[in-house]
Structure 1
Amino acid sequence: MKSIFFRENIFEILNHIEEAIQIIDEKGRILYFNKSAKELDELGREKIIGRHILEVYPSLNHDTSTLIQVMQTGSPIYEKEQMFINYKGNKITTINTSIPIKEKGRIKGAIEISRNITHVRKMTEKITDLQTKLYSENDNPKKNNERAKYTFIDIIGQNRKMAKLKSTALRASNTSSPVLIYGETGTGKELLVQSIHNASPRKNKPFIAQNCAALPSNLLEGILFGTVKGGFTGAEDRKGLFELANGGTLFLDEINSMPLELQAKMLRVLQDGSIRRVGSTKTIDVNVRVITATNTEPEQAIDEKIMRKDLYYRLAVINLKIPALRERKDDIPLLIEFFIDKYNKELGNDVEGIEDDTLDVLMKYDWPGNVRELEHVIQGVLALEDTDTIKKEHLPYQFEKYKVQINKDEDIRPLNSAVEKLEKNIIKEALKKTDRNITKTAELISIPRQTLQYKIKKYGL
């Protein structure tokens, strides 16, 4: 009685699971399928239960059905893509995990859990087709530059770390060596990558970017390397991004999210300079400069075994790190000035600048979202506030505690006052020596010109 009650409740629970679940017996006959599987197949229970799996799915066979494969081998299959055509003629793509059911060593059946990725597959095929049309049919240098629009002049910053980064990246532009860029989210990795491409001999060739975390591994492989008709059920002849980027630059963001088995194939491409489409035995030579980026420390990714060490050494021939905004706070006034000008033009505003105490708040903040977060703060203020200067009350909620801290600083932090007094005297003496030449004064005390202007205004010099 208990076992019947348990079974009924389990099946009721399975009916409310988002993934499709099917169970077959040792002869391949369907014993159970849940509500999600019914929606995939568009067939009723009375037409499926008791029938052979290949009878219900005639577009599959013994070699392509993951359920039949695990019955034959006795080994489970994890996260494998399968495509079939249901009775209404709809092409369905799933990611399957199939596990044999054993009793005393004998295979008694199999269970399969399927995730429907049909819409994702269709979307990626459309994107790939559009990319093929865009990159293959158009070899106009001007058009190619529209896809990589940023150059080094667009990278705002005079901080020493940023100046060194731009100098190193500019030298790297003249090589074809792979580049690995590490930077936290929001630091501007693609901006740097596009700048490298546009300063390189490949600037009139394609620039293609792909985020490795945006797609399931099964789809990412086909997008990178292409597919051949008949390579798997429903496959068509399609160029991959390596072919589309031939002669140019391929940027792979969040490379640490790429599955390890796909990283092994990437390694072969970098070693041999050739690719093989999914389902094909033919190799195709490609001339592509690969630039990759990661938002976690590469050494950490290797330690956590989410990045192959041998692939890292191949990718990091040139290794660049973009400093977080908290590591170059002296660039904040310059960036604010740039974003105010940008969104004044976009929104038709006439904001002149930012008040000193408001800038103090922004200078004390840690900026976990980096430059992107700063840009969004300025954009939000200009979009919502009718003002000629940005004031503390215009800042969003995450700055509240910093506003309070600023107000109390003069009373409870004498060290700050001492530092400010010293800083004021240094700037005052430097201005005297240079006859108030702002550029020469900034060079003399080694700070950006815009930062000096802010401090002159702050201290009333």
Structure 2
Amino acid sequence: MGKVVERADWFELILEAIDEAIHVVDDQGMTIFYNHNAAKFDCLQKEEVIGKYILDVYPSLTEKTSTLMHVLRTGKPIYHSLQTYLNKNGERIETVNTTLPIIEESQLIGAVEVAKDVSKLSALSNRLDQKKRIHDAAGVEQMHNFSSFLTNDPLLNEMLEKAKKAAAYPSSVVVYGETGTGKEVLVQAIVHESDRKNQVFIPQNCAALPESLLESLLFGSVKGSYTGAIDRKGLFELADGGTLFLDELQAMPLTLQTKLLRVLEDGVVRRIGDAKAIQVDVRLITALNMDPFEAVKKQILREDLFYRLHVSSFHIPPLRERKQDILLLSRHFIQTYHQQFSKNVKRLSEETKQLFMAHHWPGNVRELKHTIEHAVLMMPKEAEDITPSYLPAHLRTQKLEDETPDASLKSQVSSFEQTLIQEALNKHQGNIKKTAAALKIPRQTLQYKLKKYADAEI
């Protein structure tokens, strides 16, 4: 019996640790479990909910609008459903709920709901409606332009020239390439070069939201179209006269792709639950982190939508295929962080250059940028060269594997220890006492290890 109780305790700890609201009711609608995040959403204490009938706790809900009560009534699961209600403080809470029946021996004994609070995203949509994110002169200057895209690669420079030509026309554009290659930089450059640069520019990642919320965000909604829905413009209406950028298009569900195709063909949108057609003038730019032809082949991108969007398409190759850009971009990022962090850093050491040129850069330009940022942060203020000791551990490990594939475990552990000590010393500007405290070893032990490694280099 003790083991069973212990296991139940573990389950409760796990459910409390999950970063989403979890609410469980029995077959009569009485709450039997209610985690910390659910209480935080609702501004309630757990004791106010557990053992209580759900509609007594949430007077703004009814048997029809409560997803938990609906599942108890029908016995059927609900996935990614939008629900809006007022919490104890009168605040409007909007959640995306997955609600499942609990079945034991073919009998419905309760229901469990996992809810994600999307109120902040809805608030963002409302702020977009109020401000329309119109770029004034200062905003335009903050956007990337074509001079922001640094490259020495001839083919990439040729592509950028074509993109400049495409920027002048309102036709759709597709940009594709691996994560971190600079797709949004190119998209902003295209917008900056267009005659819509002073108009609305709204970016939206299609992978960031569940289908029901993405549909509402893109096309808008009318009051009563779903539980808790209000009259709200979608991004197409908000971007009227400007540009809408949909990133990671391949993550958009196929049903929404169908609706997107209809908007592109007709130039009108219909809010969820509304038959009224609203004319919009929006330039659509999309991006994918994979080859669009491959996405069509895998049936995650509709073929008819792709060819409707494929007026102009531009591929940004990964950094490993344009190695001449690695040192160019490194110099640019060094200059950026030299100024931002008021450091004396000036260059990569020769050893670091070799390491960078040999690295695969799976995270592309973004990985290189963050690597330089990390190194500059780790360097003492007076240091000028970025040496391997300041780099993230995975790059140093690669160096060790490349150069000493047959090294013994003892020598590899020793080398790794030496690197950690050097990094801590750099961080604390050579202060032995602070370095020892950071490494959680006695000061005498640190001094002994430093002497040992210094003697080994003689």
Q: TM-score range by the shorter chain?
A: 0.7 to 0.9
The separation in 1 between residues aligned to 2:126 and 2:206, in whole angstroms, is 18
Does residue 288 of the first structure (1) align with residue 282 of the second (2)? yes
1:321 alignment partner, one of 311, 315, 323: 315
Cα separation, 2, equivalents of 1:57 and 1:342: 52
Q: Which string of whole-angstrom CA distances, capped at 9 and with x for unpartnered residues, describes residues 300-330 of structure 1?
A: 4334443333332323332221110000001
* Alpha-carbon separation, structure 2, partners of 1:94 and 1:164: 47
Q: Deviation at 1:229?
A: 3.7
Cα shift at 1:384: 2.6
Give the letter for the 1:276 counterpart. Answer: R
State whether structure 2 residue 60 is matched by structure 1 residue 59: yes
Question: Aligned pairs, how many?
Answer: 392
Query: What is the CA distance between 1:86 and its match in structure 2?
Result: 5.5
Is it true that 1:388 corresponds to 2:389 in the alignment?
Answer: no
Deviation at 1:54, TM superposition (A): 5.6
CA distance in 1 between partners of 2:329 and 2:183 (Å): 16
Q: For residues 264 and 112 of structure 1, do their structure 2 counterparts lie closer, same or farther at Cα, with a shift above 3 Å needed? A: farther
Is the CA contact (8 Å cut-off) linking 1:229 and 1:237 kept in structure 2?
yes
- For residues 307 and 34 of structure 1, the distance between their equivalents in structure 2, rounded to whole angstroms, comes to 41
Relative to structure 1, the CA distance from residue 7 to residue 77 in structure 2 (aligned partners, 3 Å threshold; closer, same or farther) is farther
- 1:375 positional shift: 1.6
Which among 373, 396, 403 is matched to residue 400 of structure 1? Answer: 396
The gaps in structure 1 that reach 5 residues or longer are 409-461
Are 2:146 and 1:145 equivalent residues in the alignment? Answer: no
1:165 aligned residue (142, 156, 159)? 159
Corresponding residue for residue 124 of structure 1: 121
Residue 78 of structure 1 aligns to which amino acid in structure 2? Y
| Maintained 8 Å contact 1:229/1:235 | yes
Does structure 1 residue 227 correspond to structure 2 residue 221? Answer: yes
The match for 1:245 among 239, 247, 251 is 239
Instruction: Determine if the alignment matches structure 1 residue 30 to structure 2 residue 25.
Output: no
Residue 399 (structure 1) shift: 2.9
1:115 partner letter: V
Letter of the 1:329 partner, please give it.
K
Instruction: Single out whichever of 209-218 and 248-257 deviates more from structure 2.
Output: 209-218
User: Structure 1 residues 90, 8: closer, same or farther in 2, change over 3 A?
Assistant: farther
Following superposition, the deviation at residue 154 of structure 1 comes to 0.9
2:43 matches 1:47: no
Q: Give the match for residue 302 of structure 1.
A: 296
Q: Is the counterpart of residue 135 in structure 1 residue 129 in structure 2?
A: no
Does the CA-based 8 Å contact 2:80-2:211 persist in structure 1?
no
C-alpha separation between the residues in 2 aligned to 1:87 and 1:396? 47
Contact 2:219–2:271, Cα closer than 8 Å, also in 1: yes
- The alpha carbon displacement at 1:191 in A equals 0.3
CA apart distance, 1:13 = 4.7
Secondary structure of 2:132's partner? helix
Separation of aligned partners in 1, 2:364 and 2:5:
53
For the 8 Å contact 1:15–1:36, the answer to whether it is kept is no
- 1:252-304 per-position Cα deviation (integer Å, ceiling 9, x unaligned): 11122223332222222212211122343322111111111122333443344
1:92 Cα deviation after fit: 4.1
Distance in 2, matches of 1:143 and 1:129, equals 23
Asked if structure 2 preserves the Cα contact closer than 8 Å seen for 1:93 and 1:116, the reply is no
TM superposition shift of 1:67: 4.8
RMSD: 3.6
1:78 maps to what in 2?
A: 79
Unaligned runs of 5+ in 2: 405-458
1:81-92 pair list within 5 angstroms: 81-85=82-86, 89=90, 91-92=92-93
- Alpha-carbon distance in structure 1 between the residues aligned to 2:369 and 2:10: 50
